[in-house]
Amino acid sequence: MRVPTQPFILLGSVEAATELLDRKSGIYSDRIEPIMMQLMRMTYNVASMPYAPKWRAHRRMFDQQFRLSEVHNFKAIQLKQARRFLSWVLSSPACTQMHTRRFVTAIIFLITYGRKITDMDDEHVVLVEAVARGTSAAVLPGAFFVEFMPWLKFLPKWIPGQAFRKHADHYAPLINEMRDRPFADVQAALDAGNAPTSWARTLIERARATDGGSSEGLKSLDLEKNVTAFAYAAAADTTASTIQSFLLAMALFPDAQRRAQVELDEVVGPTRLPDFDDIEQLSFIRAIMMETLRWIPVTPIGIPHAVTADDEYKGQYIPKGSMIIPNVWTMMRNADDYPDPDAFQPGRFLDKDGNINTAVQDPTTIAFGFGRRICPGRHFAINSLLIFMASTLHVFDVTPGLDADGKPVELTDEVLGEVVAMPRHVPCGFSPRFPGAERLVREAAGESDDL
């Protein structure tokens, strides 16, 4: 596709995305940073940074915390928050959508800043939620003409009709505050000698020990503010979206739910809740996670790459500077890889022995991006999803639930959102499915209060 000043190339197959974004990642790993992100001063967003030394420094620091060999350090927090979620929906199932976001928020805030989130009215959470809405609307392709006519950003502010300017001016101070405020709280607590364990605290202590009060030390802390702020911004919407899609699928496709519960009964039994030691034996739960990522992809059009040199693919000329968009929705709906793609069928990922079938295209290799820009938090996200899904299905039958008038909620698979897709409807029916299930939930919630 061609628009003024910018060629776009849409990749509609895994083959093309793999060939270009993975195997030629040396020239396909750049980003064209949206003008709106610059105007909003969201230049610390690692996902949209150009492929340059600044991005490498940020990515390296993020990888050190969330690479595969490190994410086991967070399992205790993920497990306890999953069990707290069970108590939340048991007490107030009508607020399920909010509880899913609270689950994700509580984990990432505790890890990143050592801050316990008791409810979604927490001032830091309200701030980040507002920023997430603003940035999501700003980066939607075609939302603001300034992306295609960058000279518009030089117009005097008094000229009317600059919706992009109004949007940027509103969110810029919020974006700065989201980055600086929680980090400053950790610094103040550390100075006072009462900072809880957190990633931010570790980074501050490391910077102080290495650089002291030098200018390099201040520069390092600037980098650390960036990566800690990005950690929450990257996780909040995406993981919550997948969780909500999972709950929707369980209510719309009860056969898949029942099959998962049979597996949980065999592996876990009615006397305890699942933990991470069970996950390897829960193949169908893993298949449900994979099918959820495929059925409603979190980022249907992925995050665009940019090519830094002229290239050619199957006779198609690809000019330098082209924006390369992986069409994730189309890849996940490829009937050759996933027959009957609109149906929710976790069994498609299992072989005849009930194990994960490696011959079927793994949707996690699509959902989390490609090449050198693949999501650095994917292992952390998968762990959160697996323990959440196993815990919820073990103790509850998930149903549509009742509305305010006592009528069954009508569910559809309709999707909302800009860059991040969210299901319009989230079920709110959670019935304890065996004697003692409610007791297990309440006991586990009491234990998690010690977190």
CATH number assigned to the domain comprising residue 65: 1.10.630.10
pLDDT score recorded for residue 446: 76
Mean pLDDT of 66-89: 95
Residue scoring higher pLDDT (215 or 395): 395
Q: What is the mean pLDDT of residues 300-323?
A: 94
Q: Is the pLDDT of residue 450 over 60?
A: no
Q: How far apart are CA 427 and CA 128, in angstroms?
A: 25
Query: In the predicted model, is pLDDT for residue 451 greater than 50?
Result: no
Kind and range of the H or E run holding 7: strand 6-11
In a domain? residue 221: yes
pTM, two decimal places: 0.92
Residues 304, 77: Cα–Cα separation, whole Å:
33
More confident residue, 371 or 133: 371
Q: Which domain holds residue 72?
A: 31-303+334-448
Contacts by 26-29, CB closer than 8 A, 24 or more apart: 27/307, 27/308, 27/309, 27/311, 28/305, 28/306, 28/307, 28/308, 28/324, 28/371, 29/305, 29/371, 29/372, 29/373
Q: How far is CA 198 from CA 59, 107, 187, 243, in A?
A: 19, 11, 11, 25
- The pLDDT of 245-253, averaged and rounded, is 97
* 11 located within any domain: no
> Phi and psi (nearest 5°) for 304?
-60, 140
Percent of the chain with pLDDT over 90: 71
Taking 60 as the threshold, does the pLDDT of residue 215 lie above it?
Answer: no
Rounded distance between C-alpha atoms, residue 242 and residue 378, angstroms: 13
Least confident segment among 27-41, 148-162, 209-223? 209-223
428 is in an annotated binding site: no
Q: Look at the chain and report how many structural domains it folds into.
A: 1
**Residue 130, domain member (yes or no):** yes
Q: Are 322 and 305 in contact (CB under 8 A)?
A: no
SS3 216: helix
- Based on C-alpha coordinates, what's the Rg of the chain? 23
Check whether 315 has a pLDDT greater than 70: yes
Average confidence (pLDDT) over 144-154: 82
pLDDT band of residue 213 (cuts 50, 70, 90) is low
> What average pLDDT does this structure show over 189-213?
88
Q: What is the pLDDT of residue 233?
A: 78
Is 24 within the bounds of a domain? no
Residue 8 lies in a domain: no
Q: What distance in Å separates the CA atoms of residue 83 and residue 388, rounded to the nearest whole number?
A: 8
Q: In this prediction, what percent of the chain has a pLDDT beyond 70?
A: 96
Q: Quickly tell me which residue has 């039958």 as its tokens.
A: 397
Please report the pLDDT score of residue 382 as a whole number.
Answer: 97
Q: Which tens digits make up the pLDDT trace of 398-422?
A: 999 988 888 888 999 999 876 788 9
Answer whether 387's CB lies under 8 Å from 78's CB. yes
